[in-house]
Structure 1
Amino acid sequence: MAEPSLTVLRRPSFFRRRGFLFSFTPTAFLAIAGLVSLLVAGHTTLPFEPVITLEGKIASKAEFFEDEQVQQMLMRHHIRVHLTQTGSREIAVHDVDQYDFVMPSGQPAADLIVKARPNAVRVYRPFITPLVLATYREYADTLVDAGIAAPQGNAGTLYYTLNTERFIDAMQRQVTWRDLLIDRHGIANGNKILAQSPDVCTSNSAGTYLGVIAFIQNNHSVPQTEAEADSLAASIKPILTGQGLPGADLFAPYVTPEGRGSAPIVVVYEHQYLAYQVQYRARSGRPDNDRVLLYPEARFETQPQFLALNPRADQLGELITRDPDLRRRAMELGFRVLDESGATASGQLGQFLQQQGVQPPSFAGNDTKTYLPGLDLLERMIKSVGGCS
Structure 2
Amino acid sequence: MKRRLWIIVATVVVLAVVGAGIGWHLGMDRLDTVRGVVGSEKAAFFADQRVKDALASHGLRVEIDPRGSREMATTVPLDRYDFAFPGSEQSAEQVKRARAATGTYTPFWSPLAVATFTPIADLLAAEGVASRASEGHWVLDFGKVLDLARRDVRWDQLEGNVAYPARRDVLVTTTHPGDSNSAGVYAWLALQQLGGGAKALDEVVKLFTDQGGLERSTEDPFEKYLSQGLNYAPLVLVYEAQYVDAGQAGTLPPNATLVYLSPTTPSAHTVVAFDGAGDEVGRLLANDPELLRLAAEHGFRTADEAAIASVLARVPAGGAALPAKLTDIVPAPAPEVVDSLLATLDQRLRP
Superposition TM-score, scaled by structure 1 size: 0.78
Distance 1:298 1:386 in 2: 24
Which residue in 2 is equivalent to 1:270? 240
Distance 2:222 2:271 in 1: 22
**Are 1:304 and 2:281 counterparts?**
no
Which residue in 2 is equivalent to 1:243? 211
Question: For 1:49-64, what aligned pairs fall within 5 Å after superposition?
Answer: 50-60=30-40, 61-64=42-45
The answer on whether the counterparts of 2:112 and 2:267 sit within 8 Å (CA) in structure 1 is yes
Distance 1:90 1:379 in 2: 13
The answer on whether the counterparts of 2:299 and 2:311 sit within 8 Å (CA) in structure 1 is no
Check 1:288–1:360 CA distance in 2 against 1; reply closer, same or farther (3 A cut): farther
Which residue in 1 is equivalent to 2:48? 67
State the shift of 1:62 in Å: 2.1
Letter in 2 for 1:173: R
Distance 2:61 2:326 in 1: 41
Distance 1:356 1:30 in 2: 44
The answer on whether the counterparts of 1:336 and 1:349 sit within 8 Å (CA) in structure 2 is yes
Which residue in 1 is equivalent to 2:145? 167
Letter in 2 for 1:170: L
Distance 2:38 2:316 in 1: 31
Question: For 1:352-363, what aligned pairs fall within 5 Å after superposition?
Answer: 352-354=311-313, 360-363=321-324
Distance 2:316 2:155 in 1: 33
Distance 2:301 2:115 in 1: 18
Distance 2:279 2:256 in 1: 39
State the shift of 1:255 in Å: 1.2
The answer on whether the counterparts of 2:305 and 2:324 sit within 8 Å (CA) in structure 1 is yes
State the shift of 1:309 in Å: 0.5
Check 1:290–1:91 CA distance in 2 against 1; reply closer, same or farther (3 A cut): same
Provide, for residues 114-139 of structure 1, a one-character-per-residue CA deviation record: whole Å limited to 9, x for no partner: 24455x33101110011001111111
What is the DSSP-based 3-state SS (H/G/I as helix, E as strand, rest coil) of the residue aligned with 1:195? coil
What is the DSSP-based 3-state SS (H/G/I as helix, E as strand, rest coil) of the residue aligned with 2:80? coil
What is the DSSP-based 3-state SS (H/G/I as helix, E as strand, rest coil) of the residue aligned with 1:294? strand
The answer on whether the counterparts of 2:140 and 2:260 sit within 8 Å (CA) in structure 1 is yes
Question: For 1:108-257, what aligned pairs fall within 5 Å after superposition?
Answer: 108-117=90-99, 120-152=101-133, 159-183=137-161, 185-218=162-195, 228=197, 232-247=200-215, 248=217, 249-256=220-227
Percent identical across equivalent pairs? 26
Distance 1:265 1:278 in 2: 21
What is the DSSP-based 3-state SS (H/G/I as helix, E as strand, rest coil) of the residue aligned with 1:201? coil
State the shift of 1:178 in Å: 1.9
Check 1:330–1:27 CA distance in 2 against 1; reply closer, same or farther (3 A cut): farther
Check 1:190–1:356 CA distance in 2 against 1; reply closer, same or farther (3 A cut): closer
Which residue in 2 is equivalent to 1:384? 344
Which residue in 2 is equivalent to 1:28? 12
The answer on whether the counterparts of 1:89 and 1:204 sit within 8 Å (CA) in structure 2 is yes
Q: How many residues end up aligned between the 2 structures?
A: 340
State the shift of 1:272 in Å: 0.9
State the shift of 1:232 in Å: 3.9
The answer on whether the counterparts of 2:105 and 2:270 sit within 8 Å (CA) in structure 1 is yes
State the shift of 1:353 in Å: 3.8
Letter in 2 for 1:362: P
Provide, for residues 304-352 of structure 1, a one-character-per-residue CA deviation record: whole Å limited to 9, x for no partner: 11111101222211111111111111111111113xxxxxx23321223
Which residue in 2 is equivalent to 1:3? none
What is the DSSP-based 3-state SS (H/G/I as helix, E as strand, rest coil) of the residue aligned with 2:192? helix
State the shift of 1:188 in Å: 2.2
Superposition TM-score, scaled by structure 2 size: 0.86
Task: Give structure 2 stretches of 5+ with no counterpart.
Answer: none
State the shift of 1:174 in Å: 0.9
Root-mean-square deviation (CA), in Å? 3.1
State the shift of 1:182 in Å: 4.8
Provide, for residues 117-167 of structure 1, a one-character-per-residue CA deviation record: whole Å limited to 9, x for no partner: 55x33101110011001111111111100111102468xx6x311111111
Provide, for residues 186-237 of structure 1, a one-character-per-residue CA deviation record: whole Å limited to 9, x for no partner: 432221100010122211111111111112112xxxx6xxxx4x55432311
Question: For 1:274-285, what aligned pairs fall within 5 Å after superposition?
Answer: 274-280=244-250
Which residue in 1 is equivalent to 2:286? 321
Max radius of gyration: which structure? 1
**Are 1:350 and 2:309 counterparts?**
yes
The answer on whether the counterparts of 2:314 and 2:321 sit within 8 Å (CA) in structure 1 is no
What is the DSSP-based 3-state SS (H/G/I as helix, E as strand, rest coil) of the residue aligned with 1:129? strand
Check 1:254–1:27 CA distance in 2 against 1; reply closer, same or farther (3 A cut): farther
Distance 2:279 2:73 in 1: 19
Letter in 2 for 1:234: D
Q: Which moved more, 1:201-210 or 1:56-65?
A: 56-65
What is the DSSP-based 3-state SS (H/G/I as helix, E as strand, rest coil) of the residue aligned with 2:214? coil
Q: Which moved more, 1:53-62 or 1:300-309?
A: 53-62
